[in-house]
Amino acid sequence: MYAQLVETGVKRIKSLEEMSPEERNFQEKIDAEIKIEAKNWMPEAYRQTLIRQISQHAHSEIVGMLPEGNWVTRAPSLKRKLQLMAKIQDEAGHGLYLYSAMETLGADRDEEIAKLHSGKAKYSSIFNYPTLSWADMGAVGWLVDGAAIVNQVVLQRTSYGPYSRAMIRICKEESFHQRQGYEMLLTMMRQGTQAQREMVQDAINRLWWPALMMFGPSDEHSPNSAQSMAWKIKRQTNDELRQRFIDQTVPQLELLGCTAPDPALKWNAERGHYDFGEIQWDEFYEVIKGNGPCNQERVATRRNAIESGAWVREAAVAYARKQQNKNAA
């Protein structure tokens, strides 16, 4: 999940009877699965929640370029280098696409990016973990993009039209990345050396839990979920999605010949699901608060890119203005 802990600012969900006629009309549309479009009336809290969620999602795509960018100059073959470059390029494109969707809600891209740089806006906790070996590129593709897809597939049915359409488009590319990431790991495990197999297992050990955290806090600690679900911004709870991810990922893990760093992970025939151990929620909240391993570096890199590029953007604006004047004259 690329957007975790999105505040709705709503303490209690109103019943239809408590709503104003506008609100009731809106909620009935939602209940009838009619997409909300940019010019439709919507509760202010719905608008703000979506701005927060879509901007978090967009920020995640952009910050998410950094852990992979860390290895793009060191990719071990021309094929892998090309794959990684194509993936990073897609992510920048996803970021642009999501910022556009967000702007249909009346938000300003530059303002929202400034919030990211000041630490006010969040992005996915996963990108605060360092990429320490090449195997991390495969593990990020497989686990991180895999977790993102589980979330985004559901978001294709989210109630806000522009967001839903962005998700449909983005999902196509993400599934491709995920398969590619898994294939990288499979190649290392099946055709690689012992050192490479150890590299893969080590990457899984480090990224397994952070990937599970991408779905956000457990349902009992997710106060904003109920309203987001009532508005059908969210379609399934954090824990449901996390369970689905684990259920589909464990067989892939076994196919790799690797293990998860979770002694409690076990098939539960009665439930028809895998049981798994407790997430380190302290770590999750620390990372979300800005105290993860790479939070400072990630934000500093992005802030620096935009600040040190200001003169370039100013030049582009000045030149465009001069050309316009010239054409008008």
Partner 1 sequence: MHKEALVPYLLLLGDSALVQGQRLCEWCGRAPAIEEELALMNVGLDLVGQARNWLEYAAELLDDGRDADALAFRRDERAYRNLLLVEQPNGDFAVTMAKQFLYDAWHFAVLQGLAESADARIAGIAAKALKEVTYHLRRSGEWVQRLGGGTEESRQRMLAAIPALWRFTVELSAASDHEVRLANAGIAADPVAVGAAWLKQVAAIFASVELPLPKAASHFYLDGRKGLHTEHLGLLLAEMQFLPRAYPDATW
Binding site for partner 1 (CB under 8 A): 62, 65-66, 68-69, 72-82, 85-86, 88-89, 92-93, 95-96, 99, 134, 184, 187-188, 191-193, 195-196, 301-302, 304-306, 308-320, 322
Contact 3, 124 (CB under 8 A): yes
Contact 195, 202 (CB under 8 A): no
- Smallest gap from Cβ 229 to partner 1, in A, equals 31
Number of Cα atoms under 13 Å in the Cβ half of residue 245: 31
Nearer to partner 1, 310 or 329 (CB): 310
Burial class (CB in 10 A: 0-12, 13-18, 19+), 275: middle
Nearer to partner 1, 198 or 247 (CB): 198
Whole-angstrom distance, CA of residue 127 vs CA of residue 223: 24
- Smallest gap from Cβ 116 to partner 1, in A, equals 12
Nearer to partner 1, 17 or 311 (CB): 311
Nearer to partner 1, 272 or 311 (CB): 311
- Smallest gap from Cβ 134 to partner 1, in A, equals 6
Nearer to partner 1, 248 or 304 (CB): 304
- Smallest gap from Cβ 9 to partner 1, in A, equals 28
Nearer to partner 1, 32 or 312 (CB): 312
- Smallest gap from Cβ 253 to partner 1, in A, equals 20
Number of Cα atoms under 13 Å in the Cβ half of residue 60: 22
Burial class (CB in 10 A: 0-12, 13-18, 19+), 118: exposed
Torsion angle, alpha carbons of 86, 88, 91, 93, to 10 = -60
- Smallest gap from Cβ 162 to partner 1, in A, equals 18
Contact 56, 119 (CB under 8 A): no
